[in-house]
Amino acid sequence: MEIAKGVHRIGPTRKGWKLGGYAQCYLIDDESGGLVLVDAGYEHDGHRILEYLWRIGRTPADITDLALTHAHRSHLGAVAALKRLNPRMTIHAHAWEADIVAGHRMAQPMPFRPLRPLTIYPMRIGSLINYDAHRGCPVDALLHDVDGQRIGPLEVIQTQGHTPGSVSFLWRERGVLAVGDAVATWPKLDAGWPGFNLDEARYQRSLQKIVSLEPKIVLTGHGLPVTENTTQKLESLLKGPYWPARS
């Protein structure tokens, strides 16, 4: 569905909801002719992406760029299928995670603690045993540790911590920020999921950076996007262990 002008939310599918905790991706249309897809869900979510494209009168050939926030299964599963349908599509990912996207290396498994929320334990176990592994696809364009790289109308913002190569994508003119797993709204609004950040200190600094950008809309990887009272909701995440950031 179109949640704001030029911003479409796709998913989650029933299986994607069960496996990936309300995982979804986003289609960006700045009316320049091409489309940018942010993340690609699980492998079976490719069907939902295709259905949505056809429903709005577009095809995979219209996607010029696929921008990955990070290399976890719930975000890159359909990349290979979409690339086969449109070989001219440019796949963007951080240089640190390109070999994961290509299928040459597993992403780091997540720890089992803390114990809550219990609803995400299937994902912890899945990451540990590499369940439902994605089909690898080479990355065409590497993102590096600098802000301001461009993918269509989007600016790349470095927000590492959840993973070493996590990035966010800012559509500055419209105040839209796609944050991957830096912010979650499922099963509740939270600073990611407890225990899912590989570098907690770095993540805390990234979260403060996200808040400082003052986005109007935050596109989350898991759960509904934040579209109202966004500044207030983001600032609420800085309380407790997330302020001040550890060095």
Domain CATH number, residue 228: 3.60.15.10
> What would the pLDDT profile of 41-66 be if each residue is shown by its tens digit?
988 888 999 999 999 999 999 999 99
pTM for the whole structure:
0.90
What is the domain range of residue 75?
A: 2-242
Confidence class of residue 237 from pLDDT cuts 50, 70 and 90? very high
Residue 140 lies in a domain: yes
Check residues 52 and 133 and name the one with the higher pLDDT. 52
Half-sphere exposure of 134 (CA within 13 A, CB side): 31
Q: Is the pLDDT of residue 18 over 70?
A: no
Residue 69 lies in a domain: yes
Q: Is the pLDDT of residue 187 over 60?
A: yes
Q: Give strand pairing partners of 25.
A: 10
Residue 247 lies in a domain: no
Residue 225 lies in a domain: yes
Domains of the chain: total: 1
Per-residue confidence (pLDDT) for residue 247, from 0 to 100 = 47
- CA 42 to the chain's CA centroid: 12
Residue 112 lies in a domain: yes
String of DSSP letters for 57-111 = T--GGGEEEEE-S---HHHHTTHHHHHHH-TTPEEEEEGGGHHHHTTSSPPPPPP
Per-residue confidence (pLDDT) for residue 128, from 0 to 100 = 58
